Amino acid sequence: MYIIKANGAKEEFSPEKAKRSCLRAGASNELANEIVKKITRQVQQGISTRELGRLIFRYLSKFQPSTASRYSLREALLRLGPKGFSFEKLVAMVFKEEGYKIQNNQILQGKCVPHEIDILLEKENKFFMVECKFHHAPGFYTEIKDVLYTWARLVDLQESSLPFKIDGVWLVSNTKFSEQTKQYAQCRGIHLLGWAYPGERSLQYLIESKKLYPITVLKTLEKKFEDCLIKEGIITCQELLKIEPRTFQGKTGLDARKISILQSEVAYIFKNNNVIKP
């Protein structure tokens, strides 16, 4: 039985992979097995990975609604638009949890031209630039042109007269990398971080292990609330949990009762935080 990936490629349907997705979202082993049994009976030749994901999401929503929120992490990252600023903030928080000092949106003078750097990292007296590549759909790969552009910027900065040396670069994406991108990055020593890459230290693993879920995973979050929270700089569930509902209502006009409901959903997600490496 084959399924169709977002890029159009065929892949053999894997019940074990579907089970791991359920477990990673917080489902019990018993529930994961039950869901896999149900979807295995319904999977048809040529079903898309997106349709398969929606099928799993439907059963998780039926049996364990809050777990379904965590399952939708990939879709949640895609909704952190429209221009990727929220994604950049989330990525910065991931690196901060990794022990880096972070500075967002820095303009640094290269040898030839100035460069606006999405994130500047510092750790143990070493500096790294981070280039974030945000996509609105899972089928869009971060391609070779993106890593070539990133490398060119790094070289221009390394050849400049900055008061500190840029020791390396990260290219971070909310989707996947093409094989050419991986090959070039490996050759040049460029660090890649994206969906399902690299292996056991992928972007989704870091988000889950550090509980940095974007608010867009929340099943009960309405679009109007979502837009307002992001406008106020509330990107992650961690930040949402720290809000005092009545104070925030006075500031934004958002219903304090609704905020409390969202915070309860966040608390449940954190309580059932099963981090499983791919």
**Which pLDDT score is estimated for 244?**
94
**Which pLDDT score is estimated for 201?**
92
**Which pLDDT score is estimated for 75?**
85
Q: Is-contact 275 24, C-beta < 8 A?
A: yes
Q: Distances from the Cα of 89 to the Cαs of 61, 68, 130, 163, in angstroms?
A: 29, 24, 12, 25
Identity of the amino acid at 131: E
**Which pLDDT score is estimated for 191?**
98
Looking at the domain 85-209, which fold is it?
A: Trna Endonuclease; Chain: A, domain 1 (3.40.1350)
CATH superfamily of 213-271: 5' to 3' exonuclease, C-terminal subdomain (1.10.150.20)
Helix (H, G, I), strand (E, B), or coil: what is residue 97?
helix
Helix (H, G, I), strand (E, B), or coil: what is residue 187?
helix
Q: How far apart are CA 76 and CA 218, in angstroms?
A: 9
Intrachain domains 85-209 and 213-271 with the same fold: no
Beta strand ranges found along the chain (DSSP E): 2-4, 10-12, 47-48, 101-109, 114-123, 126-133, 166-173, 191-193
Pairing of strands 114-123, 126-133: antiparallel
**Which pLDDT score is estimated for 161?**
95
pTM for the complete prediction?
A: 0.83
Query: What stretches in the chain show pLDDT beneath 70?
Result: 66, 82, 272-278
191-193: strand order across its sheet: 101-109, 114-123, 126-133, 166-173, 191-193
- Residue boundaries of the structural domains of the chain: 2-71, 85-209, 213-271
Q: What percent of the residues of the chain are helix, what percent strand, and what percent coil, each to the nearest 5? A: 50, 20, 30
Q: Which residues of 107-130 are buried (b: 16+ CB within 10 A; e: fewer)?
A: ebebeeeebebbbbbeeeeebbbb
**Which pLDDT score is estimated for 272?**
61
**Which pLDDT score is estimated for 26?**
75
**Which pLDDT score is estimated for 7?**
73
Helices 245-252 & 256-271 angle (0-180, nearest 10): 130
**Which pLDDT score is estimated for 275?**
55
**Which pLDDT score is estimated for 265?**
85
Identity of the amino acid at 54: R
